[in-house]
Amino acid sequence: MVKHIQFFDTTLRDGEQTIGVNFSVEQKVQIAKQLETWGVDCIEACFPVASKEDFDAVSAVANAVKNTCVTGLARARKGDIDACVKATGQAAHKQVHVFIATSPVHRESKLHMTKDQVIEAIKDCVSYAHKFFKIVEFSPEDATRTEPDFLCEAINAAIDSGASVINIADTVGYTNPVEFGQLFDYMQKHIPAFNDVTFSVHCHDDLGMAVANSLAAIEHGATRIEGTINGIGERAGNAALEEVAAAIYVRKDYYDAVDNINMKETKKTSDMISNFAKMPVPHNKAVVGANAFAHESGIHQDGMLKNPNTYEILTPESVGAQKTTLPLGKLSGSHAVMAKLNRMGYKVDRDDMKVIFPVFKDWADHTDIVSESDLKEIMKRSKKVSA
């Protein structure tokens, strides 16, 4: 059966935990509207109890979006939940996101709580939150370093207390795709209501596996993915949602999943986050990087000119990016140089290239990218060579 995958965007909350990133309330509203256009199902607008600015941001986003669910984040404390109730008051669709750490290191060193105390806190806060919100999302923080039997005990307590979304947080990016799949298989066996609630994942990228872990979870029963645009977030960041969306889109055959994402809005969404966060997107970044649709080597350029399917599994148009480029450099082949010269208005054929191409190669050896004005000069020099 085709799975429906929900996208939960935390760019405005976990994304803002990136060092040096501080979105204004106005920017948050603009981002939230763009996320709605992109098609996310839920926006985590901030942590309302943290400051007046955070509270205002959640209320402003709650007022601004119409079809997308809005959530605030709350620790397992009634005051945090009360702040979420007030801040999301005007939202057309809302939920709350309550979390508490469950792993031994967090229980013992950070919370100073026993397992029983953690279970009591979950019961107390989830049932309290459920009085105000139909949808209560519960996250066991550092779930992937929690004893699996205790993790299931915590999740069962949350579900019995009214949680309908369970978000498995790989808080420190510790797991890997195979192990994460096995954890899901274990939870399917030990959580009787597994199929009655939504299982979500929140993966960090400390070992560069956040997207792969999120996709593995989809194969093992998760139907909601949390992440951020461009993968921004605490430390090494979160799963890049545009990469998860592209994987589901390109590999429909494999994941057998659909979602509400409007892929053509992807580049625009990424550019907005990059500008507001003042974080340039690396050129080689998957899906939205400047080089994602640029081909440099002669063999690749030749393939692209013959059939774009040879080296592109995703078209730039499908993600709203500028069209494919074949920048000319020292590795480019004669086919690509000839095609470019003909596009510039020169009428050159394979015989002409026997003279032009060595001049091009000589030039390209001393520069990074051969520009149009370089090509004009190359044509002048080639004429002298052939004369």
Beta strands in the chain (DSSP E): 3-4, 6-9, 42-46, 69-75, 94-101, 136-141, 165-170, 198-203, 224-227, 257-258
Site string for ligand KIV, 73-92 (x = CB under 6 A): x-------------------
* Smallest separation, CB 169 to ligand KIV (Å): 3
DSSP state letters, 277-316: HT-PPPTT-TTTSTTTTB--SHHHHHHHHH-GGGT-SS-T
Number of residues binding to ligand KIV, judged by CB under 6 A? 9
Closest CA to 289 of 306, 308, 314: 314
DSSP state of 368: S
Residues 6+ apart with CB under 8 A from 34: 265, 268, 269, 272
Residue 18, SS3 per DSSP: coil
Kindly list the residues in this chain that would bind Zn ion in the complex (CB under 5 A): 14
Identify the burial level of 149 via C-beta atoms within 10 angstroms of its C-beta, where 0-12 means exposed, 13-18 middle and 19 or more buried. exposed
Which of 14, 36, 259, 265 touches ligand KIV (CB under 6 A)? Answer: 14
Question: Is there binding between residue 266 and ligand KIV (CB under 6 A)?
Answer: no
Q: 31 or 101: whose CB is closer to Zn ion?
A: 101
The site partner of 267 among Zn ion, ligand KIV, none (C-beta below 5 to 8 Å per kind) is none
Taking CB under 6 A as the criterion, the residue among 130, 202, 224, 295 binding ligand KIV is 202
139 is a contact residue toward ligand KIV (CB under 6 A): yes
153 binds, among Zn ion, ligand KIV, none (CB under 5 to 8 A by kind): none
- Partner that binds at residue 139, options Zn ion, ligand KIV, none, CB closer than 5 to 8 Å by kind: ligand KIV
Does residue number 99 form part of the binding site for ligand KIV (CB under 6 A)? Answer: yes
DSSP 318: G
Torsion sign over Cα 185, 186, 192, 196: negative
Q: At what angle do helices 350-364 and 372-386 cross, to 10 degrees?
A: 120
Of the pair 179, 296, the CB lying nearest ligand KIV is at 179
DSSP 328: B
| Nearer Cβ to ligand KIV (152/314) | 152
The entry of Zn ion, ligand KIV, none that residue 242 binds, CB within 5 to 8 Å by partner kind: none
Residue 351: Cβ-neighbour burial (10 angstroms; 0-12, 13-18, 19+)? exposed
State which of residues 141, 242, 243, 265 lies at the interface with ligand KIV (CB under 6 A). 141
Out of 18, 103, 171, 270, name the contact with ligand KIV by CB under 6 A.
171
Q: Out of Zn ion, ligand KIV, none, which partner does residue 99 contact, by CB within 5 to 8 A per kind?
A: ligand KIV
Contact yes or no for 30/271 (Cβ under 8 A): no
Contact mark string toward ligand KIV, 302..341, x via CB under 6 A: ----------------------------------------
CB 13 to ligand KIV: min, Å? 8
Write out the residues near ligand KIV by the rule CB under 6 A: 14, 73, 99, 139, 141, 169, 171, 202, 204
